[in-house]
């Protein structure tokens, strides 16, 4: 399917990608600390980390946009926070 990446992946796909990238960022940060302890230059690793963080920020923006589009039909509190769970009138 040829479409905008965010639409093709869907909300769940974007959430999974964000989760995966956050784990990768954690691993990269650990590697940078290891390199620093060994007195090895970390410039390229830090550049990669910056690119990874920028990608996650972009994915979060896409996720928020998809949530806003879907959120038009969702009920929310007066504060704007989305109501999660089963409504009180449907609980057993």
Question: What are 60-74's pLDDT values in tens digits?
Answer: 999 888 888 876 666
Question: How many C-beta atoms surround the C-beta of residue 22 within 10 A?
Answer: 14
Asked if residue 82 belongs to a domain, the reply is no
Q: 92 pLDDT band (50/70/90 cuts)?
A: low
Enter the pTM of the model.
0.67
Asked if residue 86 belongs to a domain, the reply is no
- Which distant-in-sequence residues (6+ apart) come within 8 Å of 26 by Cβ? none
Query: Is the per-residue pLDDT at 5 higher than 60?
Result: no
Asked if residue 24 belongs to a domain, the reply is yes
Number of domains in the chain: 1
Asked if residue 90 belongs to a domain, the reply is no
Asked if residue 81 belongs to a domain, the reply is no
Which domain covers residue 15, as residue numbers?
Answer: 6-72
Asked if residue 14 belongs to a domain, the reply is yes
The region of weakest confidence among 9-13, 27-31, 85-89 is 85-89
Q: Give the pLDDT of residue 6.
A: 44
């Amino acid at each position: 399917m040829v479409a905008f990446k965010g639409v093709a992946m869907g909300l769940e796909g974007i959430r999974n990608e964000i989760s995966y990238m956050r784990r990768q960022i954690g691993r990269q940060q650990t590697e940078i600390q290891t390199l620093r302890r060994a007195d090895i230059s970390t410039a390229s690793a830090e550049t990669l980390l910056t690119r990874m963080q920028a990608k996650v920020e972009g994915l979060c923006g896409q996720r928020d946009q998809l949530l806003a589009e879907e959120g038009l039909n969702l009920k929310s509190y007066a504060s704007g926070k989305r109501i999660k769970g089963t409504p009180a009138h449907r609980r057993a």
